[in-house]
Amino acid sequence: MANRHRGEIDADLDGKPYTLCLTLGALAGLETAFGDEDMLALATRFEAGRISARDCQRIIGAGLRGAGFDVSDQAVAAMRVEGGAAGYVDIVARLLQATFGAKPGEGEQASGEGDSTGPFPGTR
């Protein structure tokens, strides 16, 4: 089960439960993959709310690797999620919110989902 205090989320990929986490190493890998110089540039990239399929693939892969799974981006590309494209975007939005958004307990709704304003898709 995911620990929101550590920036983790739960997601089902290919019908299997996974925990995802963007560790510092995973974020460094994303900076390299996207050609960004720092985390602020990375955050600014997602602030616009435009996420490509390749972005989803890289972010989900980084989150899986950050949580300790040995999964390549190519393997992520073949994975299926409930809801299709919207399901992938939901995973990415929740992962980015858990990583960069409000700390757990700050602005959370009764459902446990964050309700804070954030610079990432799927956040308010």
Q: Which residue has the higher pLDDT, 68 or 123?
A: 68
pLDDT value of position 121 = 52
pTM of the model: 0.80
pLDDT band for position 4 (50/70/90)? confident
Q: Distance between CA atoms of 56 and 81, rounded to whole angstroms?
A: 12
Residue 117 lies in a domain: no
Q: Indicate whether 124 pLDDT > 90.
A: no
Residue 120 lies in a domain: no
Residue 90 lies in a domain: yes
In this prediction, what percent of the chain has a pLDDT beyond 90? 58
Residue 55 lies in a domain: yes
Geometric angle at alpha carbon 105, from 115 and 92, rounded to 5°: 50
Count of domains forming the chain: 1
Q: Distance between CA atoms of 70 and 35, rounded to whole angstroms?
A: 23
Structural domain span for residue 41: 4-99
